[in-house]
Amino acid sequence: MNEKMEAGKKIDYRGLALLCLGHMMTDLNTSAVPALLPFLKEALGLSYAMAGTIVLSSNLTSSVIQPAFGYITDRRSLIWFLPLGCFCAALGIALLGWASSYWQILLLVTFSGLGVSIFHPEGWRIANFFAGEKKATGISIFGVGGNLGFAFGPLMAVYFVKNLGLKGSLFFLIPGAAMASVFLFSSFWRVRRPTARSSSAPTSPTISARASIYPMSLLLGMVTLRSWAHIGLMAFIPFYYINYLRGDPMQAGNLLFAFLMAGTADTLVGGPLADRFGHKKVMLISLGATCPLLILFLISTGFLSFIWLTLAGFILIFSFTVSMVMGQFFMPHNLGMASGLIVGFALGTGGIGAAVLGLFADHWGIPLTLWVIAFIPWLAFIPAALIPYSQKKKPLEKG
């Protein structure tokens, strides 16, 4: 019994590595959508608002129902959600370049978003179990897979379209199908998977459902605003370089790749720093420092602008792992639902933000839209600062 309890305290790097890889193969499909927008806009004659609505459709499907799937996985371990989510997310994007109408595009990104929504709650729930006692560190390993996917998705999308045309999107099916097969035929990672009951065991002092409403509301408010900034940058940086600066689409893809890869590195760094120096402190530093870096990006040119945007991507995502750990802290008996809410709000509200910012861009242009986005992290700082959160160690169990 003591050995089992001791094992639960340690990070299971092997299990987290597989979950991380699956997270990557799922999320690269989500981030491919903004990179494909300039090509889809030109092919079908779309407005910026219609392009933003495509992001909205993708993100709403991958977010709004995530808490529902989280609720289900908190009560019953649905391990097959992982391969199914990987495959569906890839299939929708793979067929996107073959769509002949705006409504077909909306249908396909919605289907892909559904796959993303299926994958995440179960993935985050199991990752929490594999993380042991060092939650921010362990969950950051799983989170880095999503950030890697976000980073490589735009690069892959631009490369396939530049060399093969829009129908090159079909190649997105390969990594998704391969990862689904790995999940189906691997067994080692299932040995220590938590049951529905064990996964809900609290890793922090018990917090009542009523008491968690206020801090969770503030946390979700912060997540909403941070997501507007993050997904807004993803959606409009390609337009800024391709349509406004008349730059090479590959250059826009490389810039977006650097921005998102910086967030990936940040995820690995941010988790251990948060465990050491404090979750809330790291979150506030992240939000406070992002705005000046984005301003420097907008007033710079050439290589300097590349540097400032990369640093902004590194700092902004510091708060992602922390927000997940805090959300699961406030809802220790509903880890799947907590992760569904955090990721769901991040994707869903980010999609709404992209649609609203698209309308703004139609009237006032891309450059002014990016200036608005630059100041959003400071708005997110306000609810983050108000969150009542004390990082505590797990109390010793009696008996």
**Between residues 197 and 239, the one the model is more confident about:** 239
Among 57-61, 85-89, 194-198, 267-271, whose mean pLDDT is lowest?
194-198
Please report the pLDDT score of residue 123 as a whole number. Answer: 82
Q: Is the pLDDT of residue 397 over 70?
A: no
Tokens of 394: 């797990």
Give the pLDDT band of residue 88 (cuts 50, 70, 90): very high
Query: What pTM was estimated for this model as a whole?
Result: 0.67
E-strand stretches of 42-122: none
Backbone CA torsion sign across 304, 150, 156, 376: negative
Q: Is the pLDDT of residue 66 over 80?
A: no
109 phi/psi in degrees, rounded to 5: -70, -30
Q: How far apart are CA 22 and CA 113, in angstroms?
A: 15
Distances (CA, A) of 389 to 130, 288, 325: 24, 18, 11
In tens, the pLDDT along 249-277 reads: 667 777 777 777 777 776 667 667 777 77
In tens, the pLDDT along 102-155 reads: 999 999 999 998 898 888 878 877 887 777 766 667 777 887 888 788 778 888
CATH superfamily placement of domain 10-386 = MFS general substrate transporter like domains (1.20.1250.20)
Please report the pLDDT score of residue 4 as a whole number. Answer: 42
Q: Is the pLDDT of residue 350 over 90?
A: no
Q: Is the pLDDT of residue 175 over 90?
A: yes
Query: Is-contact 328 131, C-beta < 8 A?
Result: no
Give the pLDDT band of residue 2 (cuts 50, 70, 90): very low
* Residues near 302 by beta carbon (within 8 Å), at least 6 away in sequence: none
